[in-house]
């Protein structure tokens, strides 16, 4: 009986050794196969659009697409903001208004426009150019920021006619110098603008005479606060601008 029991124990140990060796061999085979599978699949694995490399290399983020090249919107246009910065940045010989009240009167005659405006006859266009551009190059951009747009914020005749017709009317106690906008535009097209040749143009001091657009612009700006004294001078048959 003891002989049989001893024989069975030896057989059990031998069987256990065989099972252990088989398991180890299988584990080695599986590991090799798994290692091959991991190395070939991880690099291509993506998670929510982000590729995750199997090493410590930087994560590659997919390109978000082309950048919108449209200019970013600036500060929303307002007469208060516009007049604040144009009075601050355009001074001395480059001053565009004699006083904040004159600026506000000119602003009230303009459309506010959109904060992205750079070339329209609007407050927004002038406000933009009165900011960083006028601080950087006041000689070039202060006239653009002024009441007549400097040939950039709308054309000069459009700016001149819109301001003149809104400032000079019966409500302001002055006769309209032109029947309507088309009549003003037609007359304006024939006025000489001396600033186009010498880079000058109307200033706070004039010109107060001469058959030019410059002279009429001076009186149109002055008419903002004193329409009775200056509106007639903006007309085609001007007694002052001749």
Task: Answer with the residue of higher pLDDT: 59 or 143.
Answer: 143
Rounded to a whole number, what is the distance in angstroms from the first to the last CA of the chain?
144
**Separation of alpha carbons 129 and 124, rounded Å:** 9
230's CB contacts (< 8 A; 6+ apart) are 219, 220, 222, 223
Q: pLDDT band at 198, cuts 50/70/90?
A: low
Q: pLDDT band at 200, cuts 50/70/90?
A: low
Model pLDDT, residue 11: 46
- State CA 204 to chain mean position distance: 30
Model pLDDT, residue 194: 87
Task: Answer with the residue of higher pLDDT: 106 or 61.
Answer: 106
Spans of all domains in the chain: 70-154, 155-242
pLDDT tens for 46-96 read 333 334 444 454 444 334 333 333 345 668 999 999 999 999 999 999 999
**Separation of alpha carbons 71 and 47, rounded Å:** 34
Res. 40: pLDDT tops 70 = no
Task: Answer with the residue of higher pLDDT: 111 or 74.
Answer: 111
Q: What is the mean pLDDT of residues 15-37?
A: 42
pLDDT tens for 206-221 read 899 999 999 999 999 9
User: 193 and 206 in contact (C-beta within 8 Å)?
Assistant: no
Q: What is the mean pLDDT of residues 11-29?
A: 44
Taking the whole predicted model, whether its pTM rises above 0.85 is answered as: no
- In terms of Cα–Cα distance, which of 41, 127, 35 is closest to 80? 127
């Amino acid at each position: 009986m003891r002989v049989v029991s001893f024989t069975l124990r030896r057989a059990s140990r031998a069987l256990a050794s065989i099972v252990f060796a088989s398991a180890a061999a299988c584990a080695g085979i599986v590991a090799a196969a798994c290692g091959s599978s991991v190395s070939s699949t991880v690099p291509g694995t993506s998670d929510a659009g982000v590729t995750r490399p199997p090493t410590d290399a930087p994560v590659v983020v997919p390109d978000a697409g082309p950048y919108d090249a449209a200019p970013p919107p600036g500060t929303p246009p307002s007469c208060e903001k516009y007049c604040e910065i144009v009075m601050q940045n355009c001074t001395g010989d480059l001053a565009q208004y004699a006083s904040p009240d004159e600026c506000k009167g000119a602003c009230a005659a303009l459309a506010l426009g959109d904060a992205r405006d750079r070339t329209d006859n609007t407050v927004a266009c002038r406000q933009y150019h009165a900011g960083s551009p006028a601080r950087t190059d006041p000689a070039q951009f202060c006239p653009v920021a002024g009441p007549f747009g400097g040939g950039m914020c709308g054309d000069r005749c459009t700016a001149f006619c819109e301001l003149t017709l809104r400032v000079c009317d019966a409500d302001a106690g002055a006769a309209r110098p032109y029947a309507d906008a088309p009549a003003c535009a037609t007359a304006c097209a024939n006025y000489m603008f001396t600033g186009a040749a010498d880079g000058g143009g109307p200033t706070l001091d004039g010109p107060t005479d001469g058959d030019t657009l410059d002279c009429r612009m001076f009186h149109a700006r002055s008419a903002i606060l004193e329409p009775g004294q200056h509106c007639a001078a903006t007309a085609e048959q001007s007694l002052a601008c001749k």
